[in-house]
Structure 1
Amino acid sequence: MNWNAISFDWNQIRAFLATAEEGSLSAAARALGQTQPTLSRQVTGLEDALGVTLFERGHRAMTLTQAGHEVLAHVKDMGDAALKVSLAASGQSSHVEGKVSITATELFARYYLPSIIAELQQVAPGIFVEVITSNDVRDLTRREADISIRHARPEQPDLIGRLVAETTAHLYASRDYLDRSGRPDGLDDLADIDLLSFDEAENIVPFLQGLGMPVTRENMRASTASGGLLMELTRAGLGATFLTKEAADRFPELEQVLPSMAPVPVPVWLVTHRELRTSRRIRLVYDLLADRLPALMAAAADDQSAEKSE
């Protein structure tokens, strides 16, 4: 492939990146606020310019070809560079100012948002960030927040979402608790386990039963909307709860209960109102979150895996 002879259209590059990240043309179109036919033409135009097939077209999904993977490695660097230029230019503008509210769970906000907010202060010092920590899904349609970090895909038609990362949750308890109560060998052994939760029993018990856990309301020992307090209750040996691996692996006293149990998928969606993407300050924060969160989560997982292997 003669890269020197190719003249790139940045819109085609953005379309390709979004499609590779989102996995389908429809999802990529929503992420970029474009129509699907327009996005499809841009991707096809890049394939024509490069003379290669970048995607295998399925009924609903777009799968990268080997050539697509090779091109992706190059254009990701271009995308990062373009974002840095955009952030630097916006940060120097006195017009990029005002409040942007972000809602996320307490643990997610604690572990991932500080470094992003620090970078934002450097590139756009006129933006004031309000972080709302809550396990409840804030209603973006009523402007209760500008940007939401959710663990479920948005269903409302006036919201746009971008899947930025995926992780898993597992049942964890302290080693002290498991030493006292015993380590389960199978799902049936969870019938007497003490449970801690971020939600009330009538909501969480049906979910756990759907995972095959033979639990009832009597298993519930405490619930709290505070992710930090839930973590401390678990570390104190008061029961077991579901935590993401990245959160639990930060505390060596926590142990996965019944490792053979299937993990619970935890997608990370970045969501905002469609109209708000036209706001320069909200678009700036949204794009920075979309760019930084996947790398931060991947780095946290890699660091914890390295620590365990030492």
Structure 2
Amino acid sequence: MTMDWDKLRVFHAVAEAGSLTHAGETLHLSQSAVSRQIRGLEEHLGVTLFHRHARGLILTEQGELLREATRDMTRKLVAASARIRDSKDEVFGQLRVTTTVGFGAMWLTPRLPRFFGEFPDISVDLLMTENVLDLPMREADVAIRMREPQQADLIRRPLFDVTMRFYASKAYVERHGAPQTEEELRAHRLISFSPNARQPAPVGFWINAQLELAHRSTLLMNNYFAMLQAAEHALGVAILPDYLAVDHPELTLVAPRLHSPAFTVYFAYPEELRRSRRVEVFRDFIAAEVETFRAAT
């Protein structure tokens, strides 16, 4: 039994949106046109694909089976399109990169001017989130994560190790001194990532152990940029990833013998994008930036 590609495309949009109206907006079709396509597909298959109710549409069991197929089709079509568009002589198109908020905003973004200088026709969609996006399902093309990705069918490579250390501004050290030991640190205000925020497990345990000590006071945040600002404004001693120190020489390392366990930053992308020129040039750019970063640390 053959099926109409247009009807499948419309079905996939409706299944993902859960609404005829929202699917129509995505496809630039009227709600009635979308509805006709769905009815036609249901009649062709002889099944009901959606339960209709006041709050929207819910897939039936048969609809769920068809959505799995259309998701796989869509993923393969997107990958094929990317490979076709990639050129040996020109590199262009969109590249979706996911990473954490802190790393994306504070390490990656300052380095992107060099990337765009070399590849001005690539558009980068930088998805900064603590959530792990599904690369095989093409929620993103490339991931830079603070732990080794566990999803199957991924090419992954370690970039560098990160350690959490204690930093204060030079102005703070001039005013309050540079603590060297755990005991001396207790006399200072500790600026820390919130213990409820997501961290690599060994690092989270270590940060929680620091917060259990009787410091003068604490300032808890859920954003490394805000923590950096607090440290630069001499509010206290901040627990920050050491990759920040390279780009912020106004920070001074204190208590150098105290630090968290190291964790590894990984670069990953789906196996099916192995030959994508956009992924290839971005991977090589990140590798070169990492080498420069390592040389500076």
Q: Same fold (TM over 0.5)?
A: yes
Deviation string for 1:136-175 (max 9, x for gaps)? 4434355332211112111122433111334544221113
Q: Structure 1 residue 173 and structure 2 residue 168: aligned? A: yes
Aligned to 1:140: 135
Tell me, in whole angstroms, the C-alpha distance in 2 between the residues paired with 1:143 and 1:239.
42
**Which residue of 179, 204, 217 maps to 1:184?**
179
Tell me, in whole angstroms, the C-alpha distance in 1 between the residues paired with 2:142 and 2:219.
33
Q: Structure 1 residue 215 and structure 2 residue 202: aligned? A: no
Contact kept, 8 Å, 1:190 with 1:215, in 2: the verdict is no
Change over 3 Å in CA distance of 1:160–1:264 after alignment to 2 = same
Change over 3 Å in CA distance of 1:167–1:266 after alignment to 2 = same
Deviation for aligned residue 1:260: 1.5
Q: Structure 1 residue 241 and structure 2 residue 238: aligned? A: yes
1:128-167 equivalence runs, <5 A: 128-167=123-162
Partner of 2:124, secondary structure, is strand
For 1:196, give the aligned amino acid: I
Q: Structure 1 residue 202 and structure 2 residue 205: aligned? A: no
TM-score (norm 2): 0.56
For 1:107, give the aligned amino acid: M
Change over 3 Å in CA distance of 1:268–1:140 after alignment to 2 = same
Gaps of 5+ in 2: 1-85
Deviation for aligned residue 1:263: 5.6
For 1:229, give the aligned amino acid: A
Contact kept, 8 Å, 1:201 with 1:220, in 2: the verdict is no
Partner of 1:144, secondary structure, is coil
Report the structure number with the largest CA radius of gyration: 2
Deviation string for 1:36-84 (max 9, x for gaps)? xxxxxxxxxxxxxxxxxxxxxxxxxxxxxxxxxxxxxxxxxxxxxxxxx
**Which residue of 286, 291, 294 maps to 1:298?**
291
Change over 3 Å in CA distance of 1:194–1:273 after alignment to 2 = farther
Partner of 2:119, secondary structure, is helix
Gaps of 5+ in 1: 1-88, 306-310
Deviation for aligned residue 1:285: 2.8
Change over 3 Å in CA distance of 1:265–1:207 after alignment to 2 = closer
Aligned to 2:96: 101
1:261-280 equivalence runs, <5 A: 261-262=258-259, 264-275=261-272, 277=273
Aligned to 2:118: 119
Tell me, in whole angstroms, the C-alpha distance in 1 between the residues paired with 2:170 and 2:112.
29
Change over 3 Å in CA distance of 1:155–1:209 after alignment to 2 = closer
Q: Where is the helix percentage greater, Structure 1 or Structure 2? A: 1
For 2:195, give the aligned amino acid: A
Aligned to 1:110: 109
Tell me, in whole angstroms, the C-alpha distance in 2 between the residues paired with 1:272 and 1:297.
17
Tell me, in whole angstroms, the C-alpha distance in 1 between the residues paired with 2:129 and 2:191.
17
Tell me, in whole angstroms, the C-alpha distance in 2 between the residues paired with 1:285 and 1:159.
16
Contact kept, 8 Å, 1:190 with 1:214, in 2: the verdict is no
Contact kept, 8 Å, 2:164 with 2:259, in 1: the verdict is no
